[in-house]
Amino acid sequence: MAHEAAHDHHDEHHDHHEHQSFFQRWVMSTNHKDIGTLYLVFSLLMFFIGGSFAMVIRAELFKPGMQLVQPYFFNEMTTMHALVMIFGAVMPAFVGLGNWMIPMMVGAPDMALPRMNNLSFWILPFAFALLLSTLFLPGGGPAGGWTMYPPLSLQSASLAYVVFAVHLMGISSIMGAINIIATILNMRAPGMDLLKMPVFVWSWLITAFLLIAVMPVLAGAVTMLLTDKYFNTHFFDAAGGGDPVLFQHVFWFFGHPEVYIMILPAFGIISEIIPTFSRKPIFGYKAMVFAIASIAFLSFIVWAHHMFAVGLPLGAEIFFMYATMLIAVPTGVKVFNWVATMWGGSMTFETPMLFAVAFVILFTIGGFSGLMLALVPADFQYHDTYFVVAHFHYVLVTGAIFAIMAATYYWIPKWTGHMYSEFWGKVHFWNSVIWVNVLFFPQHFLGLAGMPRRIPDYNVAFANFNMISSIGGFLFGASQLIFLGVIIHCVWFSKKKATDRVWEGAKGLEWTLSSPPPHHSFTIAPVIHDDELAHGHVED
């Protein structure tokens, strides 16, 4: 296999690594761990920038009346919050985790395409510089929502910036996805069969295919916006024979798989953490993999459930309702399997496990509201209200972001060689889990009472729950500073050395490496012992 060659290359490269300058190490890196770190640091930065936009939103919504910002700026904040959090925080975080862990989990020395790996990261800072710069330009940032529905988005002066930023993000994501697929399919150590791979690797393999399938669709959709605005095409202009609804179909054909791009790797992470801290193999490994694949497939045929209120024909509403409801089955299987993994285990509750348990409960609550939203007549009430805001924040914040935090606590001892502070990790967890519910749970009630999304001001009937939600928001935001503190402490100040295995119940190749791992993970393909793998004996 290619490992011999990689081994030779490593010796040569490793010497260079020893006397690399800061610039060489971080900017010119081709190392999967360094690039993974870059992705994670970038994601954390974007998490705080996107979070600060959310603080502006919650501050303005603290009480009825306009106190802080003009409505247009409020719309810029909602739009930028979404774009930054989706494309800047959640997606790069998963790519960073994949970069770090996939080669180590499959027994490879590095990613398959290390130079492309560098490029796919370094595109991102430029993409976000372009996007965020619009806030300082005349005409302001995009304010038509992250969904960029025309004709409204065509009124924005910064459309071209947004379109090119999205193009860059798309190129970055596609290259990242190609790299992950190439690594998983080509770089596995002998004996690491596909059905012995960790669920996290499986989830990323499937996610990478989703990315390759849908990012070009988004690129096409936003390019049509660009030509509509600047070159007088009429793709989405009814007056020229176009159709504004066409954009929504194309956008959500990207957008729904995108939703799963942000949750499938989270499923993978949780499927690693729960078995480790239950000291018991994951329940129904094959069912877990198959469920992820089913959800990925279904994600392509449910897009119009974002568009139930555009006036779809009855047949389409029924089809998309049934297809959407079907997703509850594989998702249910996953949740039941996580609970069954815990059942009969020998559990401890370190910070990663706490986040994983919170993920299962709170993501499931987001799934419940998702099921309610799938029912078209009920959706006609919920649609575009705060009920939807509550729904997708439950799946994205207490889903995706909690999984990212769980993963950080789970793997940071491996990455740095130091243990984080378990006390402060738990302080971060309990603050996050309490305030995030104070933040988002009341938004269900606001939506049910009829408060629309994306409004900067509201009737006094909505005042109570908005104030509670804002208080939760401020405290949830502040709690994340604890997270930052725990990370900084762990990386630079922690005295407590991590063992190679780190966690008593941890299984898999990544735990056979030293903490921190060598510069090139497996320079010689490891010999696989099935009982050392989390999923080495698959008979189900």
Partner 1 sequence: MISGGIKPKGSKGIVRALGVGALSLIGMGLFGSTVLANPEPGQLNLTPGVTTYSNVPYMLNNVALGVCVVIGILVFGAMFIAMFRFRKSRGAVAEKWAHNTTVEIIWTVIPIIILITLAWLATDGLRQFSDTTGAQMTVKVTGYQWKWRYDYVDYQGKAISNVGFLSKLDDQSNATRQLNSGLDPYAVKVGDENVYLLNVDKPLVVPVDTKIRFVITADDVIHSWFIPALGWKMDAIPGVVNATWTNIKVPGVYRGQCAELCGQDHGFMPIVVKAVSKEDFAKWLADQQKPATPAAPAPASTAAAPAQATAQVAPAHGAQG
Catalytic: which of 3, 32, 58, 81? 81
Least Å from the CB of residue 64 to partner 1: 4
Identity of the residue, 51 or 151, whose beta carbon is nearer to partner 1 in the bound complex? 151
Q: Is 347 an interacting residue with respect to partner 1 (CB under 8 A)?
A: yes
Which 358-377 positions form the footprint of partner 1 (CB under 8 A)? 360-361, 364-365, 368-369, 371-372, 375-377
Which 72-91 positions form the footprint of partner 1 (CB under 8 A)? 72, 75
Alpha-carbon distance of 204 to 497, in angstroms, equals 30
Alpha-carbon distance of 167 to 160, in angstroms, equals 10
Q: Exactly one of 24, 133, 459, 514 binds partner 1 (CB under 8 A); which one?
A: 459
Active site residue 351: no
Those residues whose C-beta lies under 8 Å from the C-beta of residue 336, and which sit 6 or more positions away, are: none
Identity of the residue, 48 or 445, whose beta carbon is nearer to partner 1 in the bound complex? 445
Considering only the stretches 187-195, 202-210, 333-341, 507-515, report the one whose residues sit in contact with partner 1 under the rule CB under 8 A: 333-341
User: Distances from the Cα of 314 to the Cαs of 220, 253, 376, in angstroms?
Assistant: 28, 20, 10
Q: Is 314 an interacting residue with respect to partner 1 (CB under 8 A)?
A: yes
Q: Is 539 an interacting residue with respect to partner 1 (CB under 8 A)?
A: yes
Active site residue 306: yes
First to last CA, the chain: 30
Which 463-502 positions form the footprint of partner 1 (CB under 8 A)? 463-465
Structure tokens at 91: 């997606």
Alpha-carbon distance of 341 to 347, in angstroms, equals 10
Those residues whose C-beta lies under 8 Å from the C-beta of residue 104, and which sit 6 or more positions away, are: 509, 510, 513, 517, 521, 522
- List residues bridging with 452 in a β-sheet: 385
Identity of the residue, 260 or 283, whose beta carbon is nearer to partner 1 in the bound complex? 283
Which 211-230 positions form the footprint of partner 1 (CB under 8 A)? none
Least Å from the CB of residue 379 to partner 1: 8
CB neighbour class for 361 (10 Å; exposed up to 12, middle 13-18, buried from 19) = exposed
Identity of the residue, 37 or 341, whose beta carbon is nearer to partner 1 in the bound complex? 341
Write out the DSSP string of 455-486.
-S---GGGHHHHHHHHHHHHHHHHHHHHHHHH
Query: Binding pattern to partner 1, positions 254-283, x when CB under 8 A?
Result: ------------------------xxxxxx
Structure tokens at 177: 């996805």
> Are the beta carbons of 250 and 148 closer than 8 angstroms?
no
> Are the beta carbons of 30 and 114 closer than 8 angstroms?
yes
Identity of the residue, 45 or 301, whose beta carbon is nearer to partner 1 in the bound complex? 301
Q: Is 336 an interacting residue with respect to partner 1 (CB under 8 A)?
A: yes
Identity of the residue, 116 or 333, whose beta carbon is nearer to partner 1 in the bound complex? 333
Q: Is 284 an interacting residue with respect to partner 1 (CB under 8 A)?
A: yes
Q: Is 342 an interacting residue with respect to partner 1 (CB under 8 A)?
A: yes
- List residues bridging with 385 in a β-sheet: 452
Q: Exactly one of 133, 186, 346, 514 binds partner 1 (CB under 8 A); which one?
A: 346
Which 154-183 positions form the footprint of partner 1 (CB under 8 A)? 155
Q: Exactly one of 339, 484, 524, 527 binds partner 1 (CB under 8 A); which one?
A: 339
Which 106-145 positions form the footprint of partner 1 (CB under 8 A)? 143-145
In degrees rounded to 5, what are phi and psi of residue 497?
Answer: -75, 145
Active site residue 146: yes
Q: Is 293 an interacting residue with respect to partner 1 (CB under 8 A)?
A: no
> Are the beta carbons of 306 and 255 closer than 8 angstroms?
yes
Element (H, E) at 295: helix 285-298
Alpha-carbon distance of 193 to 185, in angstroms, equals 10
3-state secondary structure 156-167: CCCHHHHHHHHH
Q: Is 69 an interacting residue with respect to partner 1 (CB under 8 A)?
A: yes
Q: Is 430 an interacting residue with respect to partner 1 (CB under 8 A)?
A: no
Least Å from the CB of residue 241 to partner 1: 9
- DSSP helix/strand/coil, 284: coil
Catalytic: which of 60, 76, 228, 258? 258
Active site residue 512: no
Q: Is 195 an interacting residue with respect to partner 1 (CB under 8 A)?
A: no
Alpha-carbon distance of 522 to 540, in angstroms, equals 29
Least Cα distance to 96 among 409, 523, 404 occurs for 404
Q: Is 249 an interacting residue with respect to partner 1 (CB under 8 A)?
A: no
Q: Is 4 an interacting residue with respect to partner 1 (CB under 8 A)?
A: no
Identity of the residue, 147 or 512, whose beta carbon is nearer to partner 1 in the bound complex? 147
Q: Is 311 an interacting residue with respect to partner 1 (CB under 8 A)?
A: yes
Q: Is 17 an interacting residue with respect to partner 1 (CB under 8 A)?
A: no
Q: Exactly one of 427, 455, 475, 482 binds partner 1 (CB under 8 A); which one?
A: 455
Active site residue 338: no
Least Cα distance to 397 among 423, 446, 424, 435 occurs for 435
Active site residue 529: no
Those residues whose C-beta lies under 8 Å from the C-beta of residue 431, and which sit 6 or more positions away, are: 475, 476, 479, 482
The number of angstroms, rounded, from the C-alpha of 454 to the middle of its chain's C-alpha atoms is: 22
Catalytic: which of 260, 303, 503, 511? 260
Least Å from the CB of residue 86 to partner 1: 17
Catalytic residue numbers, as ranges: 81, 110, 146, 172-173, 256, 258, 260, 271, 305-306, 331, 334, 453
